Chains A and B, each alone.
Chain A
Amino acid sequence: MAKPTKPLYSSLDEWVDVQPLEQYEKVNPLAPIFYTDEYKDATSYFRGIVKSGEMSPRVLDLTEHIIRLNPAHYTAWQYRYRTLMSIKAPLDVELKLMDELAVKYLKTYQVWHHRRLILTETRDPQRELAFVEESLREDTKNYHTWSHRQWVLSHFNDIDLWRGELDFLDTMFNQDIRNNSAWHHRFFVVFQSGVREGEEDRERVVRRELTFTKQNISFAPNNPSAWNYLRGVLEFNKLPFSTVTTFVFPYTQPTDPEAVDLVDLDNPPPSKQAELPCPAAIEFLADIYESEGGESLLKANQLWKSLADEHDTMRKRYWEYRIKESLQKGST
């Protein structure tokens, strides 16, 4: 049993005016939780406070106490927020507390949302991106942390905030090119949140993104995040997959021990240690053939069959479906 961090409220004179409320008064509940005495005591006083509607500084202490024992107690968060607003508590102090709690309870929805509420009030996101970067060190794929960053950028939509995003992403990619959260963030920044100063030349942006993606595929071809991004860039910009046929083709072939190192920025070849053929490349090439139609459908079918029977047997049913679907389409 955890050691109590504070004396019980029931033993404190300054809380004697609050009537604590038992959780279950008339019911013998099923599926109850064996709480510690400390938690039971704190939440009983909290229920008493909610009932009386009191909003005061001591409510901030009480809700912080409960949150530290159970950061998912959304009612404590909600009541805390209303109390902060009601007594006009200093929000910079609150944000400092949140700096500590967010890192401590990284996986909780509420810590991030509370932060968002406070920032919406203060309208001062200046140190927010640095804070997020720091939190990502603890957990590089934390869903809430990444969404929070995206919210900060799009909600405040301040050019100064956006400016550093690609550099920030470079550091993330340098750590782990397989971090899908970073790839998603890149798509969010580059394509889905409006066009900002310096990015107006969309053709140049698309070229840059294609070069970036191809290069990363060449380092580690079996990285589904990079292939999904490549698909995303082409689809979003309504470019046919055949734009990158020359690049994709070598990745669909077995490793070539004779290959010589050559620098080709447009079509970087697979690294020497690449494990080929790469199923994602085969799928990609099959999609190219399928969109060509006619005779090429046969080539697409052969590739799907090689995925079904050899390179990606777990998805056999899906590849067979693709074959069937393309034949149905082809015959109508």
Chain B
Amino acid sequence: MANSRPPRPAPDDAFPTSTSRLQAETEAVLLDHIPTQVQAETAQLPAKLNKSAHVQFLARNFIQGFPAKYTSQDASQPWLMFWTLQSFSVLQVGLDPGNKQRAIDTILTWQHPDGGFGGGPGQAAHLLASYASVCALSIAGGQGEKGGWDQIDRKKMYQFFMSLKQPDGSFLVAHHAEVDVRGIYCLLVTATLLDIITPELVEGTASFIASCQTYEGGFSSASQPYYSSEPYTPKSLLSSPRPPLGEAHGGYTFCALASWVMLQPFLDLSPRGISRDRPQINVKSLLRWLVQMQGSAAEIGGFRGRTNKLVDGCYSWWVGGAFSLLEALGVGASVIGPVPGDGEDSRASGRDTEPGEEGKDGENEHEWDDVDDSFFNREALQEYILYAGQHPTGGLRDKPPKNADAYHTMYCLSGLSSAQHRMFPSVERREQLQEAWKAPSPDDTLPGKIRKETFLNSLSWTEDESASKILGGEANRVNATHPVFNLTITHSEAIMSHFYGQTVPPRVRSST
């Protein structure tokens, strides 16, 4: 990126509007954050992840408290906790036992007596708060009387989830609250981690997700159900019209796609899923939309969240992190490979498997060593985070000259992680998990099969260590994170093996 020639600004075709003016202003600010040729040559390149400043920023809020302006997050206390704990995890920082226990005790005060977790003590249960609380417990907690995990009331959690379910397969985020795909993502992660996912719970949910895909390829917040108005018959959901409410958006797209990935066992196994009515999403237009969200060189390759909006560090994860998810649908790095040219055709034609089958197995990895086998520009995204995303006094942010905050710190760091590491669902790992699977008696019921598939799918995610790409050198390395849950693989394995009653075989090379 370092270049003596400034990058080309976004063309406005001499037809300025408020969008193009704002874009030009933003590019002008970002330009100051691109290292010059001279800086690059004299190795003053600020491509350093200022880990200690970020840890201090996080620790200050965590131990001393958040300033009063965070009152706007009073109903998101589990998020402040999760963002902080997961930022520590990504930065490879562990918690001492005393603070771990305090974290567990704090989180448990948010559990609602009727199931689920709220945004703080005495607050109503909410899907988003439930996700953040359970993920925070995955990091800080453990089994046993004071560990937090066994104090989660899973039965009531399930009842709470069912009480939010709508006839179109969606869920309210809380009683009397809105429907959107963030809530569905949060519900599915929570149910997956805690082993409470059932066909009853997710019936109709995949169709709802599919209906949120817009003509642009990304997903919207929700869709509007229309019901038949035939008199004297029970109202039934129409497959059309079922319009998305709101345009394609990075955050919703991540949540929808991750939900879609989590729903695969259900779709693969249930009678509805294997019938001709199996809901579909358009992966091709989704991929196109995702790559279009990456900003130009003038935007230092950061991601935006909607067409014609500005880049923002948080989409490093919501959009940048979504590419790994495509691998679970058989669209991924392993099918890209080098462009066939001189002498490379034999390698390309040597793979006759379906995309996403054996192609992503470790066996074939040596074939792709010489290429940057990703759909997006991983290097440029790391530059955006390092040059523009870091606040000089610690913490990460949307873009300069904004302040750092807990939310952007977490999603910039997770985005950095997804740009550094390549995660893929490993067939090899899946087989190991399958061999180690323990069941008191073989369970061939549909819920039993879905349960097992969910476990195998979730934990087969593996880092392809040969494909790491760390801009600025090893000192900038952050931990890999689970593409669906946004937890480290270690934390994901620990909590899932606890609730599924499994022993996870050790990984040959640990990814965390």
**Which residues of A approach B to under 8 Å, CB–CB?**
1-2, 21, 23-24, 27-36, 39, 43, 47, 50-51, 69-75, 77-79, 81-82, 109-110, 112-113, 116-117, 140-141, 143, 146-147, 150-151, 154-155, 175-181, 183-184, 187-188, 191-194, 219-225, 228-229, 231-232, 235-236, 271, 273-275, 313-318, 320-321, 323-325, 327-328, 331
From A188, A220, A225, A331, give the contact of B12 (CB < 8 A). Answer: A220
With contacts A30-B99, A33-B68, A324-B336 taken as known, whether A187 is within 8 angstroms of B215 at the C-beta atoms is yes
A217 to B201 CA separation, bound complex (whole angstroms): 46
**Binary interface profile of B, 59-76, with partner A (CB < 8 Å = 1, else 0)?**
001110111101111111
What residue in chain A is nearest B282 (Cβ atoms)? Answer: A235
Q: Which residues of chain B are near A30, meaning CB under 8 Å?
A: 62-63, 81, 99, 102-103, 106
Q: Which residues of chain A are near B243, meaning CB under 8 Å?
A: 150, 154, 188, 192-193
From B175, B214, B241, B340, give the contact of A187 (CB < 8 A). Answer: B214
* B216, CB-defined interface residue at 8 Å: yes
CB distance from A16 to the nearest CB of B (A): 21
A179 engages B122 (CB within 8 Å): no
Q: Which residues of chain B are near A229, meaning CB under 8 Å?
A: 215
A147 engages B246 (CB within 8 Å): yes
A223 to B80 CA separation, bound complex (whole angstroms): 38
Q: Which residues of chain B are near A188, meaning CB under 8 Å?
A: 243-244
* B477, CB-defined interface residue at 8 Å: no
Q: Jot down 20 A-B pairs with beta carbons below 8 A, ordered by A.
A: A2-B68, A34-B67, A36-B68, A74-B126, A75-B119, A140-B18, A146-B247, A147-B245, A154-B245, A184-B247, A192-B243, A194-B226, A220-B13, A235-B215, A314-B295, A314-B301, A315-B294, A321-B336, A324-B348, A331-B349
What residue in chain B is nearest A23 (Cβ atoms)? Answer: B121
Q: Which residues of chain A are near B19, meaning CB under 8 Å?
A: 176, 178-179
A325 to B178 CA separation, bound complex (whole angstroms): 41
A184 to B349 CA separation, bound complex (whole angstroms): 41
A155 engages B71 (CB within 8 Å): no
* B499, CB-defined interface residue at 8 Å: no
With contacts A74-B177, A275-B13 taken as known, whether A141 is within 8 angstroms of B309 at the C-beta atoms is yes
B216 engages A222 (CB within 8 Å): no
Which of B27-35, B157-165, B375-383, B482-490 makes up part of the contact surface?
B375-383
A232 engages B375 (CB within 8 Å): no
CB distance from A40 to the nearest CB of B (A): 10
- Among A78, A192, A235, find the residue whose CB has the most chain B CB atoms closer than 10 A: A192
From B106, B124, B247, B337, give the contact of A31 (CB < 8 A). Answer: B106
What residue in chain A is nearest B58 (Cβ atoms)? Answer: A31
From B70, B340, B372, give the contact of A327 (CB < 8 A). Answer: B340
A313 to B1 CA separation, bound complex (whole angstroms): 12
B176 engages A328 (CB within 8 Å): no
Q: Which residues of chain A are near B80, meaning CB under 8 Å?
A: 31, 33
Interface residues of B in 112-160 (CB under 8 A from A): 118-124, 126
B11 engages A33 (CB within 8 Å): no
With A72-B72, A113-B177 given, name 17 new contacts (CB 8 A): A24-B106, A29-B109, A39-B71, A74-B177, A75-B122, A150-B224, A179-B19, A184-B214, A184-B247, A193-B224, A220-B13, A221-B13, A271-B14, A320-B336, A324-B339, A324-B340, A327-B348
A273 to B14 CA separation, bound complex (whole angstroms): 6
B65 engages A32 (CB within 8 Å): yes
* B399, CB-defined interface residue at 8 Å: no
With contacts A113-B177, A222-B12 taken as known, whether A78 is within 8 angstroms of B124 at the C-beta atoms is yes
A94 to B63 CA separation, bound complex (whole angstroms): 41
Q: Which residues of chain B are near A154, meaning CB under 8 Å?
A: 224, 226, 241, 243, 245
Interface residues of B in 205-227 (CB under 8 A from A): 214-216, 220-222, 224, 226
A74 engages B294 (CB within 8 Å): no
B177 engages A78 (CB within 8 Å): yes
Q: Which residues of chain B are near A155, meaning CB under 8 Å?
A: 224
A109 engages B178 (CB within 8 Å): yes
A151 engages B245 (CB within 8 Å): yes
What residue in chain A is nearest B74 (Cβ atoms)? Answer: A70
A51 to B465 CA separation, bound complex (whole angstroms): 53
Residues of chain B at interface, number, CB under 8 A? 90
CB distance from B257 to the nearest CB of A (A): 17
B349 engages A35 (CB within 8 Å): no
CB distance from B167 to the nearest CB of A (A): 15
* B291, CB-defined interface residue at 8 Å: yes
What residue in chain B is nearest A44 (Cβ atoms)? Answer: B122
Q: Which residues of chain B are near A27, meaning CB under 8 Å?
A: 102, 105-106, 109
With contacts A81-B176, A194-B241, A274-B13 taken as known, whether A34 is within 8 angstroms of B307 at the C-beta atoms is no
CB distance from A213 to the nearest CB of B (A): 12
A23 to B118 CA separation, bound complex (whole angstroms): 13
* B26, CB-defined interface residue at 8 Å: no
What residue in chain B is nearest A141 (Cβ atoms)? Answer: B309
With contacts A34-B66, A47-B122, A192-B244 taken as known, whether A78 is within 8 angstroms of B176 at the C-beta atoms is yes
A323 engages B122 (CB within 8 Å): no
With contacts A29-B102, A146-B246, A154-B226 taken as known, whether A175 is within 8 angstroms of B17 at the C-beta atoms is yes
Q: Which residues of chain A are near B247, meaning CB under 8 Å?
A: 143, 146, 180-181, 183-184
Q: Which residues of chain B are near A116, meaning CB under 8 Å?
A: 178
A1 engages B68 (CB within 8 Å): yes
With contacts A73-B74, A75-B118, A318-B375 taken as known, whether A222 is within 8 angstroms of B176 at the C-beta atoms is no
* B296, CB-defined interface residue at 8 Å: yes
With contacts A69-B71, A151-B224 taken as known, whether A179 is within 8 angstroms of B308 at the C-beta atoms is yes
B176 engages A82 (CB within 8 Å): yes
B308 engages A224 (CB within 8 Å): yes
Q: Which residues of chain A are near B497, meaning CB under 8 Å?
A: none
Q: Which residues of chain A are near B109, meaning CB under 8 Å?
A: 24, 27, 29
Q: Which residues of chain A are near B340, meaning CB under 8 Å?
A: 324, 327
- Among B20, B75, B246, find the residue whose CB has the most chain A CB atoms closer than 10 A: B246
What residue in chain B is nearest A325 (Cβ atoms)? Answer: B335
With contacts A24-B121, A70-B72 taken as known, whether A317 is within 8 angstroms of B336 at the C-beta atoms is yes
What residue in chain B is nearest A22 (Cβ atoms)? Answer: B121
A228 engages B121 (CB within 8 Å): no
B176 engages A314 (CB within 8 Å): no
A219 engages B75 (CB within 8 Å): no
**Binary interface profile of B, 293-315, with partner A (CB < 8 Å = 1, else 0)?**
01111000100001111000000
